[in-house]
Amino acid sequence: MELFSSLILKKNDPQTNYDALRYSFISYAISVAHGIFCILFYFMSIPSLTIYNLFVCAFYVICARIIPNIKKYNILYFFYLAEIVFHSIFATAIVGWDFGFMFYLISMIPCSFYIAFSVAYFKKQLLYPVFTTAVVAAAVIVMRCVTGFVEPVFKTDTSFFKMFFQILNILICVGAVFVFSALFSVEVNSIQIQMETDQRNLEDMARIDPLTKFLNRRSMDERLNFAQRNAIINNIKYSLIMTDIDNFKKFNDTYGHDCGDFVLQSIAKIISAQIRAKDSACRWGGEEFLLLVPEEESTAVDIAERIRKAIAEHDFYYEGQSLHVTITLGVASYYDNCKIKTLIEIADKRLYKGKDNGKNQVVFS
């Protein structure tokens, strides 16, 4: 874990860290495989393969440590591919086809797809897996043809080593295919989740006012139309509350627009705390809010008065300054054959009636 942590600390870019971590993991995995081969060839008394695997094992460990400082991942990839192909051919030429070194060579194909489509440096280019598949196929064919006509350098009458190496190479191949397939599935799932999250965020941006987190007018229109149909068809009344911040321009002029945004956000939070889950709040204009209450007028008036009182009694502090903020509210309720536009106009007129009568009040008639 300390090795992987040291990788992360060497880069500021999270994607670069992740790519380096992938390559580091692959390098360590290959070094482990070569380490196992080194031990087995040592007990088989094959010095050439023992020394080669020992050297390569150490080389991959070094690569795993310096990967964060390597810029050209493609060069490193082709070097890894060349080494694995060479080792497979070399080992097959020494001990023969029956030891199964062609199996783990096949595992390079899913590995190439995973790296090409998950490491940002490779930019999802099919060149790498296509080239890898061609090289692997050619290498396996050459190995089979050569071993069909040329006897292996090292001959053994012990069938144990042949069976053991076959099983080991099959396990390496199957294990690598499983791991890289699983990792690829994780990558695809992660991308899908990110796409779904982005889609939800886009939908939220399309229907939510970014400053107050209230609905925007487009989203409120949809809810108003639903409430209107419900009132006409099912005779379920609804009410509208139009609100406006008193003397809002004074906050902008005196303390700046950031103060105005602070007041809007603060009032939005207070309103959210006072309304119910089934009520809807919308930023209708600059400092105007429209609330949809699926109840008759008396309930809407109670909610409006509760909001007005909560704001009037709230202590607003902006950069050490105490602000006195109040709002005026106009309430209108659905009546037979009333249109949405008409109801909004009624609520708006009552709002401005309250403004003319001294502000900080609820007007419903």
Is the model's pLDDT at 8 over the cut of 70? Answer: no
Q: Lowest-pLDDT range, 3-17, 122-136, 210-224, 272-286?
A: 3-17
Is the model's pLDDT at 18 over the cut of 70? Answer: no
pLDDT band at 202 (very low <50, low <70, confident <90, very high): confident
**Mean pLDDT across the chain:** 87
pLDDT at 6: 43
Determine the distance from the C-alpha atom of residue 92 to the mean position of all C-alpha atoms in its chain, rounded to a whole number: 45
pLDDT band at 11 (very low <50, low <70, confident <90, very high): very low
pLDDT at 68: 63
269 and 163 in a common domain: no
In the chain, the percentage of residues whose pLDDT exceeds 70 is 92
Determine the distance from the C-alpha atom of residue 31 to the mean position of all C-alpha atoms in its chain, rounded to a whole number: 32
278 and 329 in a common domain: yes
Q: What is the mean pLDDT of residues 268-281?
A: 95
The four Cα atoms 306, 307, 308, 314 give a dihedral, to 10 degrees, of 110
Give the up-direction half-sphere exposure of residue 183: CA atoms within 13 A in the CB hemisphere.
22
pLDDT tens per residue, range 66-103: 776 666 778 888 888 999 999 999 999 998 888 888 88
Is the model's pLDDT at 219 over the cut of 50? Answer: yes
- Does 188 fall in a domain? yes
Neighbours of 331 (CB within 10 A): 29
Domain that holds residue 309: 217-363
pLDDT band at 16 (very low <50, low <70, confident <90, very high): low
Q: How far apart are CA 180 and CA 173, in angstroms?
A: 11
Q: In this structure, are residues 191 and 122 in contact, taking their beta carbons and an 8 Å threshold?
A: no
Is the model's pLDDT at 2 over the cut of 50? Answer: no
How far the first Cα of the chain sits from its last, in Å, is 71
SS3 at position 132: helix
Q: Could you tell me the two tokens for 299?
A: 């309930």
The four Cα atoms 124, 128, 134, 135 give a dihedral, to 10 degrees, of -160
Determine the distance from the C-alpha atom of residue 111 to the mean position of all C-alpha atoms in its chain, rounded to a whole number: 23
pLDDT tens per residue, range 24-62: 888 888 899 899 999 988 988 899 999 999 999 998 888
Is the model's pLDDT at 10 over the cut of 60? Answer: no
Q: What is the mean pLDDT of residues 270-292?
A: 94
Query: Of 146 and 223, which is predicted with more confidence?
Result: 223
CATH number for the domain spanning 263: value is 3.30.70.270
Q: How far apart are CA 247 and CA 359, in angstroms?
A: 9
228 and 170 in a common domain: no
164 and 68 in a common domain: yes
- Does 160 fall in a domain? yes
Q: DSSP state, 247?
A: T
Is the model's pLDDT at 204 over the cut of 50? Answer: yes
Q: What is the mean pLDDT of residues 284-313?
A: 94
- Does 102 fall in a domain? yes
Q: Lowest-pLDDT range, 11-25, 257-271, 278-292, 324-338?
A: 11-25
283 and 198 in a common domain: no
Q: How far apart are CA 318 and CA 268, in angstroms?
A: 16
299 and 191 in a common domain: no
315 and 277 in a common domain: yes
pTM of structure: 0.55
183 and 285 in a common domain: no
| Single-letter amino acid code for the residue at 217 | R
Q: Could you tell me the two tokens for 102?
A: 């062609």
8 and 60 in a common domain: yes
- Does 211 fall in a domain? no
Q: What is the mean pLDDT of residues 166-183?
A: 86
Q: How many domains does the chain have?
A: 2
262 and 126 in a common domain: no
As beta bridge partners, residue 290 has 242, 282
Is the model's pLDDT at 318 over the cut of 80? Answer: yes
pLDDT band at 354 (very low <50, low <70, confident <90, very high): very high
Give the up-direction half-sphere exposure of residue 184: CA atoms within 13 A in the CB hemisphere.
16
Is the model's pLDDT at 15 over the cut of 60? Answer: no
Last residue of a domain, one of 183, 205, 227: 205
- Listed residue (279, 284, 278) closest to 264, CA to CA: 284
- Does 295 fall in a domain? yes
Angle between helices 257-274 and 297-312 (to 10 degrees): 130
Q: DSSP state, 286?
A: S
Give the up-direction half-sphere exposure of residue 25: CA atoms within 13 A in the CB hemisphere.
16
pLDDT at 313: 94
Last residue of a domain, one of 167, 185, 205: 205
- Does 210 fall in a domain? no
Last residue of a domain, one of 149, 170, 205: 205
As beta bridge partners, residue 291 has 241, 281
- Does 332 fall in a domain? yes
Surface-to-core class of residue 223, CB atoms within 10 Å of its CB (0-12 exposed, 13-18 middle, 19+ buried): middle
Q: In this structure, are residues 308 and 242 in contact, taking their beta carbons and an 8 Å threshold?
A: no
164 and 53 in a common domain: yes
152 and 98 in a common domain: yes
- Does 343 fall in a domain? yes
